[in-house]
Amino acid sequence: MNIEATHYLNVFLGTGVIFTQILCVVALFLLFFGPKKNFYLDFINKHVLVLGFLISFVSAVFPLVYSEIIHFLPCYLCWWQRVFMFPLVLMFGVALWDKDRKVIRYALPLLCAGTLVSIYHNFFYYFGETSATPCDASGVSCYQHIVSEFGGYISIPMMALTAFAALLTLLAIAHFYGKNKID
């Protein structure tokens, strides 16, 4: 993939990340401070399994695009985030197939662990020392700013954190907003 196509992919994904962040903030605000009945939260609650599968699927495919097609090698912390994200595709896929909302119970530990790793990664990516030295024996540095769009706000660690946050938001809505079974 050439540099221009990679840039357009980064802008496309960055726009999606910002849009997802806005939707999550609105959803959480409505969940905790909004009216008891809400069309937006009703929609999310009704389609939580589909949305969870789509978010986890996209969050598993695009890291593979970056590493296998564009050849951006993942750092040590990216590998750990993949460990916690990739099984969620299967979990949400099976839950969608069976229409089983109890996936919340099983996905939550993976999401919490992945979110903690992602927060740690983002902290050192944005606020740590900017070093070209590798942070592990693989030779890849967690500090490399390979993807830096929208003034440096959008990066690979921010994309991962947004995916984990979006899935946690879905689970919060599914748990706190309604306990109805999917039709």
State pLDDT tens for residues 119-166: 988 888 888 766 554 455 555 556 666 776 777 788 888 999 999 999
| pLDDT 10s digits, 35-78 | 888 899 999 999 999 999 999 999 999 989 888 888 888 888 88
SS3 per residue for the chain: CCHHHHHHHHHHHHHHHHHHHHHHHHHHHHHHHCCCCCHHHHHHHHCHHHHHHHHHHHHHHHHHHHHHHCCCCCCHHHHHHHHHHHHHHHHHHHHHHHCCCCHHHHHHHHHHHHHHHHHHHHHHHHHCCCCCCCCCCCCCCCCCCCCCECCCCECHHHHHHHHHHHHHHHHHHHHHCCCCCCC
pTM exceeds 0.85, yes or no: yes
